Structure 1
Amino acid sequence: MTPPEIRTDPTPEIEDDPMSQATFLSPVPSELTTTTTLDDVLAEIVERRGEFRTQGYVSQDVITKLKQVGIYRASTPRRFGGDALPPAEFLRLVERISAADGSTGWVASFGSALVYLAALPLETQAELYADGPDVTFAGGLFPVQPAAETTAGFLVNGRWKFASGCMGADVLGVGIPGDASTEGKPRTVLLRPDQVEIVQDWNVVGMAGTGSFDLVVRDVEVPREWTFIRGGTPTVDEPLYRYPTLAYAAQVLAVVNLGIARAALDYAEEVGGGGTGVTGAPKLADRAYYRIEIAKAEARLRAARAFFFEAAEEAYATVLAGDPVSDAQNALLRLSSTHAVQAGSEVVREVFDLSGTNAIYNDHPLQPLVRDAMVPTQHAFLSPAMYDAAGAVLMGLPPTIPAFR
């Protein structure tokens, strides 16, 4: 099948661009043929995380290595050569990466985002994965911008925020309004990187390396078949795509804080047996309050993590049994995600509070963990409002917020 022509107006340059007549994506890099393990990549991330924070995004060669270890085929349909991993399995991978670096874990978490693209027509997906299943997708979906309808699709203009991972993306998405056919839900249009301007304006306290830049699009016409409804009915009939899409989107972000909290506790437990403080006071491990509070934090993190993965595994078992995930199970997915992100942030802060004056220095190992752990708690999918919505559903009432399922 010939890929759709996606044009830009006015466009002498684009019309002459061979990409406009080629496959939608570039070929998979030859580096993917080399042998790399996840442990290798994690070690490199630890060495280079300062680089990512300074430049504001995860470097392309590391994205390539994450592709090689399967992060960006984790939600590609099996029919197109992907792994379509069970959610809990992918979440554990993101947790490990986040323990090495929160920003890289956040960017890796969008390896799950191809579940959205399962709502595209099958013919479009076949073109999307024509060069292989390792596809990186990033989206700046809000604020939703108006797009004029054309004979073929939509003429797209505007600026969108928070496109995490856009610097390493093979395909980008931006949000436009829905209509009667989408039941009012926003539509996402897909674009090639050469059709988008990335404005590098990510200047933040935490998650500084996620590259959550703005996307600007000017007069690009996108065929209707290259658009989808986020959380829309999938055209792929495989178990992963029957799992609640919006709940999964919340989980992949929440698990980042579980990884960051794990790193903070590992640090606290390792240094607790070190030397005395600057005042000559006993080492931390010899202080009862330190031992007690670290033990409490360990219990808090492990309890939140157990609830989180239990909810994921139970919901996916229901899917595998051929049944729909119930409203109560979906509520537990959303509840466990919000609880996990809050617990992770609290554990990091507790470790910081216990660590003494040295922890206030900018170059202290806990500083980036504290800053990073603040950010996921601010995401709309993980806000305190989820407690109210989940509680309502568990008591047989409608959820109190939109887009809960």
Structure 2
Amino acid sequence: MNTLNTTKPLLIDLARSLSEQIFPRSLEIESRKNLPPDIVNALSAAGFLRMMVPEQFGGLECAPQTFVEVIEQLAKGDASVAWCTYIHCASCIVSAYLAPDVAHELFSPGTVKISGAYAPTGRAIRTVENGVSGFRVTGKWGWGSGAVNADLMITGCVIISEGGKPELLPNGKPRLQSIILKREQVRLLDNWTAFGLKGTGSSEFEVLDEFVPEQYSTCLFTDPHCDTPLYRFPLFALLGLGIAAVALGLADAAINELKKISNEIKAGIKKQTASHLQVHQITVARAEAKLLSSRVFFLDAIETAWRQAQHPQPATLENRCAVRLATTFAVDSSVEVVQSMFALGGGTAIFESSRLQQYLRDILVLSKHLMITSATYEQLGCLSLGVEVEIDTL
């Protein structure tokens, strides 16, 4: 049975409720630089960390729309909580590419937490030890969001053959493998000092010559995956959805915070609340229009690609492009909304106690993610204009 119809309303309600509970704890989360264990346990108990795991391995296998709405709701309570939830879920997508017995072993317990980075900044030397084929993994990766609370870590690696050269795929490109390690095989560097998303604990992490059996790895470009709609959805689009979901949640929270301030602060000779000022009225209306329109574009692109994913044919290039464009545009629009709300907040927005300054810091850090930079517009613009461009990551 498809869990989407039975879990979506419950998941959204749970996300809204948890968001309200974590809202007062943002300063605590920032000061810790990591999510408190009780919050992580609550996320796990609600099923939020299993949204991208196949049903056959104990996951919820949620539709992308459900996933986005859950992350969006959590972001209204705290961006770091939403971000770590997104990263755990994105990391779980690897479960659909592993051999069924391996995926069942790693993910069926239901409480497993996985973090890491797909970026191939490590090296994995192919070897055989004690009759077991595998890799010797060495490397350093950035952006280990939520790693402190993880049981497993994903590491992206270039596969090196016994001859010392990178293995090549049939298309002539290096084989990039996603390799899963146990948390104790990974060293966290505790160097997350960013000015936003402080509570994500997105430190660098490294692995020094650790052996991993080959079955705990996969190539997302070539290996078969679960043949169900969620995993027919464009992979790189799926990996990026959470970025926009966090951004949209932050933008909505910023507008609501500004409304609250506007109805409390009095200004001018008449000592009317700031909500009576024309600049507040116009700016808030424009911000709401920008947020709502970008969100509709985003959800519509997801829905169109999701309908396509119900069929066994590969996702069309048009659908892949639309989701990536809508994702990037939703983030850009959300950044503009938060900036405009911070500007309207005036002197009250500059203090550490202000939600607006926190929203601004969080969304500016979020906006630097590689999946939603201007390079995406360039890539999509080339396709639109008929200029030859690489499309593997669309």
Report if TM-score (shorter chain) is over 0.5.
yes
CA contact (8 A) 2:120 2:158 kept: no
Q: Deviations over 1:223-245 (max 9, x none)?
A: 11111124544431211111111
Match of residue 58, structure 1, among 31, 35, 39: 35
Stretch deviating more after TM superposition (201-210 or 180-189): 180-189
Q: Residues 294-373 of structure 1 correspond to what in structure 2 (within 5 A)?
A: 294-373=284-363
Task: Give 1:105-144 correspondences, 5 Å limit.
Answer: 105-110=82-87, 111-132=89-110, 134-142=111-119, 144=121
Is the CA contact (8 Å cut-off) linking 1:331 and 1:394 kept in structure 2?
no
Counterpart contact for 1:122–1:236, Cα < 8 Å: no
Equivalent pairs: percent with the same residue?
A: 27
Deviation string 1:204-259 (CA, Å, 9 cap, x unpaired) is 11111111112122221001111112454443121111111111111111211100
Moved over 3 A (4+): 36-40, 140-143, 230-234, 277-282, 394-398, 400-403
- Report the residue type matching 2:375 in the other structure: A
Any idea what SS the aligned residue of 2:199 has? coil
The residue type equivalent to 1:137 in the other structure is I
Distance 1:115 1:343, change over 3 A: same
Question: 2:325 is matched by which residue type in structure 1?
Answer: L
Give the structure 2 partner of residue 376 of structure 1: 366
**Cα–Cα, structure 1 residues 240 and 44, in superposed 2: closer, same or farther, change >3 Å?**
same
- Tell me, what secondary structure is at the counterpart of 2:307? helix
Q: Secondary structure at the match of 1:163?
A: coil
Gaps (5+ residues) in structure 1?
1-35
Asked whether 1:95 is paired with 2:72, we answer yes
Deviations 1:57-104 (A, max 9, x none): 112221111111111111111111211111011100000001111111
Q: CA deviation at 1:361?
A: 1.8
Q: Deviations over 1:162-204 (max 9, x none)?
A: 1111111121011210422484242121111111121111001
Aligned-partner Cα distance in 1 for 2:268–2:100: 64
What amino acid is aligned across from residue 332 of structure 2 in structure 1?
Q
Most deviating of 312-321 and 335-344: 312-321
Paired amino acid for 2:152: V
> In structure 2, how many angstroms separate the alpha carbons of the residues matched to 1:169 and 1:360?
34
Corresponding residue for 1:160? Answer: 141
Distance (Å, rounded) in 2 between the aligned partners of 1:383 and 1:279: 45
- Quote the Cα distance in structure 1 between the aligned partners of 2:41 and 2:116: 19
Partner secondary structure for residue 227 of structure 2: coil
Secondary structure of the residue aligned to 2:142 is: strand
SS for the counterpart of 1:209 is helix
Deviation at 1:374, TM superposition (A): 0.3
Q: Which amino acid aligns with 2:154?
A: G
CA contact (8 A) 1:140 1:214 kept: no
Selected match of 2:168 from 180, 199, 213: 180
- Paired AA for residue 171 in structure 1: L
Consecutive unaligned residues of structure 2, counting only runs of 5 or more, are 1-12, 160-166
Distance 1:130 1:360, change over 3 A: closer
The reply on whether 1:240 has 2:240 as its aligned counterpart is: no
Where 1:75 maps in the other structure, the secondary structure is coil
Contact 2:229 2:311 in 1 (8 A): no
Q: 1:396 to 1:79 in 2, by over 3 A?
A: farther
Structure 1 counterpart SS, 2:154: strand
Measure how far apart 1:403 and its partner are: 4.1
Matched, 1:195 2:173: no
